[in-house]
Amino acid sequence: MSIGPLSALAPSYRDDGVVILKQALDATAMAAVEAAYDWSHAHLSAALQDFAAGAKERFIADTGYSIREPVYAALLRDGVLPDIARALFGGDSDVWYVGEQIFYKEGANGTRRTPWHQDTSYLNFAGPRMVALWIPLDPVGPDCSLEVVRGSHDGVTYNGSRFEVGDDTAPVYIDGALPLLPDIESERDKWDIVGEALVPGDLMAFHMGCLHGGGATLPGMRRRSLVLRFIGDDVVWVTRSETPHPNSSIARRARARAAGGAVAGASAGEAAPAPIGQPVGPSGKYRRVRPWSE
């Protein structure tokens, strides 16, 4: 895909917070994505989360910041993905890499949905130029794919979901001021939901403040996906002082870090390395990838 025409999508990305790019990645690019995913799946971290609803399904997610690993360095230095982020930012911003996340879903009877949520509910930074690139490694039908609520990055920031089995809206913060997540799945007709069938080579780009969730998988179906997250020059540090539920991902990550586990990436509750309201990129927390910096 030419980055020039892609820049024409910057206004719609700014307004909608989501674009679907069909066959944005050629076979060489997808081979690099697969190599990065396979490395992460073989080196699961202390941040690993198990969201399975039962013993017959496997639904895991793991986050990392593996830019120093050769497979990720090559993907980010030599590949087109940071250029896609830069184009969606308007083409006039430096780009910083803030980490990856892998998902694996498979079950004899299928797997549960990925609950609706916003990434910004779990993070300690925010701003207009933010993007998550969701890349499927297996074909996904329209009912099994990622879905995003158009324009929701410009709306309310909700209390995060803690991915509780049986209650997708169970809140991350037990004493927070953020409003409870709406039950989007039970009132889908009230929301402007973007999603469709995707195959390897396609990707979905969405603002981290958008409400998004993933479809359930069918019996015997495998769904692997890699998410890469990038920010631009107008993203700043914020603080979330709410107390996380002990069974939330934030609390589990904190416990893993306290026990000496390697837990990468920024999350709510972590101290910002620069004053609140200051730009995240120049703070030195994350590697600039466009232009590339060693």
The reported pLDDT for the residue numbered 264 is: 66
Residue 71 structure tokens:
């497979």
In terms of Cα–Cα distance, which of 47, 165, 45, 189 is closest to 114? 165
Say if residue 75's pLDDT is above 90.
yes
Helical residues (DSSP H) of the chain, grouped into ranges: 3-7, 10-16, 27-42, 70-78, 81-88, 249-258
In terms of Cα–Cα distance, which of 87, 195, 68, 206 is closest to 140? 195
pLDDT band at 47 (very low <50, low <70, confident <90, very high): confident
Mean pLDDT of the chain: 92
pLDDT band at 267 (very low <50, low <70, confident <90, very high): low
Q: Domains (ranges, CATH) in the chain?
A: 3-288 (2.60.120.620)
Lowest mean pLDDT of 26-35, 134-143, 218-227, 255-264, name the range: 255-264
Beta bridge partners of 58: 106
| Percent of the chain surpassing pLDDT 70 | 94
The reported pLDDT for the residue numbered 4 is: 65
| CA–CA gap between residue 256 and residue 253 (Å, rounded) | 5
